[in-house]
Amino acid sequence: MCMTSLAARFFELRPLIDQQTQEDLSALLVQIGSGEASSDFLDSAFGAIRSGKRFRALLAHFGAALVSGKELGQAPVAHLGAALELYQASALAHDDVIDHADTRRGAPTPHIRLATIHRERQWLGSDERFGAAAAILLGDLLFSAAERSIGLQCESLEPKIASRLLARYTTMHAEVALGQYLDVRAEHLPLDLHNPDAIPLREVREVVIRKSAHYSIVHPALLGAIAAGGSEELVQALEEALTPWGIAFQLRDDDLGVFGDPEVTGKPAGDDLREGKRTMLLSLSWKNASVAEREILAGVLGDEKASPDSIARATEVIATRGRDVHEALIASLVDEGEAQLEDRFSEAERADLLELAQIITARRA
């Protein structure tokens, strides 16, 4: 690992990840063939991978560099990085349908884009139903592209390493599906205004770990480490450090979902509340709120048409009752991960890992 900051090295690596992801998707489409009737669908597929933070691919390269001792981006895990980004695009296409989200990163979501095409061309039937169906199929196409990429990565590895890699990768996307279900289930549970534990922190934490912490942070880095031949002991040490940071990553995302600047985050203010997301921030706020304040929160949760004034009042309750303790929890999780680094990594590796913790937990978007 070199003296250049990790953030700078991530910045330099991102265009290469973009290129590999585009190339892997293009190669699949060449294999299956396409025609004029599918052009809008395939354009939407490329649109779905055109932007993003590339955290997962970057972390795969990070894990590989940590194990191999090579500079970031030099270990041969390009197809793994593409697989993670293609899978992420697949998951988001489905997630946006589930959440009825109109925009992501400031642009129309796939189901909205495809519904608009249906409406503008005056096709038969419901434009909304067409958009949702097409977006689900788009997610399936991107998932297939991810599977192809992970297969290419496995082909370059020794059989035992390839088997370990595929087992971890399969665990990752199975866990995401379970976490997503638990998240959707939680959104539909009734709330008792007189029960301070109506949004149980333990249950919310399980969703965070399964749906986000493992998927967004832990699994990608460990997949990179495994692909580079990392031992079980090293992978376990890395997992123990990254798991609390992965939780903190999602907690920061939840804070930005309520308090973030839409111009920076690319998401409308209050969308998490309108979607009824049962976050740890909401759980802490609900527990500390009065009955009257819980009524304000319950009034906007899951209400897609909640007014800006109602969202503003709910945001104020969260700012007063939950935000400080939420920030303290993020800080404690960062410290928890740091405590796992002692005597397990070199000084240079610890420096990169600590910078990584800041990148994923102190971000603004």
Task: Show the domains of the chain with their CATH numbers.
Answer: 1-156 (1.10.600.10), 190-364 (1.10.600.10)
36's CB contacts (< 8 A; 6+ apart) are none
Backbone angles phi, psi at 33, to 5 degrees: 75, 160
Q: Would you write out the chain's pLDDT as a tens digit for each of its 365 residues?
A: 456 899 999 999 999 999 999 999 999 999 998 888 899 999 999 999 988 889 999 999 999 999 999 999 999 999 999 999 999 999 999 999 998 888 887 789 999 999 999 999 999 999 999 999 999 999 999 999 999 999 999 999 999 999 999 999 999 999 999 999 999 999 999 999 999 999 999 999 999 999 999 999 999 999 999 999 999 999 999 999 999 999 999 999 999 989 988 777 667 778 889 989 999 999 999 999 999 999 999 999 989 899 999 999 999 999 999 999 999 999 999 999 999 998 889 999 999 999 999 999 988 76
pTM of the full predicted structure? 0.92
Q: Classify residue 346 as left (phi > 0), alpha (psi -120 to 50) or beta.
A: beta
Tokens of 280: 């740890």
Task: Please provide the DSSP assignment of 105-171 as one string.
Answer: TTEE-HHHHHHHHHHHTT-SS-HHHHHHHHHHHHHHHHHHHHHHHHHHHHHTS-HHHHHHHHHHHHH
Q: Could you tell me the end-to-end alpha-carbon distance of the chain, in angstroms, rounded to an integer?
A: 26
The sign of the CA dihedral 226, 232, 236, 237 is negative
| Rounded distance between C-alpha atoms, residue 154 and residue 349, angstroms | 26
| 316-to-27, 201, 255, 295, 319 alpha-carbon distances in Å | 49, 21, 13, 13, 5
| Rounded distance between C-alpha atoms, residue 98 and residue 116, angstroms | 18
